[in-house]
A and B are shown apart, each in its own frame.
Chain A
Amino acid sequence: MTRVYFELSPLIALANRFDIFHIETREFIYEIKRLGFEPISCKQAVEMDLAIGVAKRPLRVADALRIMEAIDIYGIKLLDAQSRTLLELVNEYLKEARLNIGDLLHYAGATLLGTDYLTSWNTDDFNPRFEKSVNRVNRRKNLKTIKVGTPTKIMEWMSWTASR
């Protein structure tokens, strides 16, 4: 089954109906489910985001709870990646890509969970340039390579694949 990995920004967008990406993200998730794809995210990466988000304040406790509720309501599976393996891969990525560890936890989670697509609205940190850096490491370590894009971009790829 094709797996679509959700990074933090689409999860926040799903949980907040006033967010500029809320409707698009909701439509995206309905569409991938209609196509029989599996929406997933990495338990450790999301838990780290929520805990630090609350501790450092961009999130209130209510926001964190709403994000967890959205993950549940929209049927996004939070899957466990082995923490030590996850962190080792993050440290490998750090040698290739100048990204924050918070971003790399999602790249590593997506890879280790056998994802086909990683989706994010944050195009500064989740884009073809970093996809290339991450996949260079993945190839070297015989891990699955991933495609990275916004929900809009991934929908385009899916429509293109379906029309062939």
Chain B
Amino acid sequence: MDSVEVAKQIHKDVDRLLKGLNPDDQEMVLKEAHNVVESLKKIEQITSKVKAQA
């Protein structure tokens, strides 16, 4: 899949997830998405540190 197809697919999935939620719940989902991305960054930091030490 090229960048456009991937982006379209993700935006459809975001739509399915957020549609029908009330604003408070939508806001909470955005907050959780932030936490997911922060966790991914932390995982990356830890794994690259471990790999550098090996």
Contact = CB atoms under 8 A, between A and B. Distances in A.
Interface of A: 7-10, 12-13, 16, 19-21, 43-44, 47-56, 58-59, 61, 64-65, 68, 83-84, 86-88, 91, 100-103, 105, 120-122, 124-125
Interface string B18-46: 11000100110111111011001101100
Contacts of A52: 10, 13-14, 17, 33
Given A44-B33, A48-B30, A122-B8, 19 more contacts: A8-B7, A9-B3, A21-B2, A49-B14, A50-B37, A51-B32, A51-B33, A51-B34, A51-B37, A58-B6, A59-B10, A64-B37, A100-B11, A101-B19, A102-B14, A120-B7, A121-B3, A121-B7, A122-B7
A19 B41 CA distance: 23
A44 B14 contact: no
A93 to B, nearest CB: 12
The secondary-structure label for the interface of chain B is: helix
Contacts, number: 118
Report whether over half of chain A's contact residues are helix, strand or loop; otherwise say mixed.
helix
A83 B31 contact: yes
B54 interface: no
Contacts of A122: 4, 7-8
A47 B10 contact: no
Nearest to B13: A56
6 contacts: A9-B6, A51-B34, A83-B27, A100-B11, A100-B14, A122-B7
A44 B34 contact: yes
A56 B16 CA distance: 11
B30 A58 contact: no
Contact of A102 (B4, B12, B41): B12
Given A52-B17, A84-B27, A100 B6 contact: no
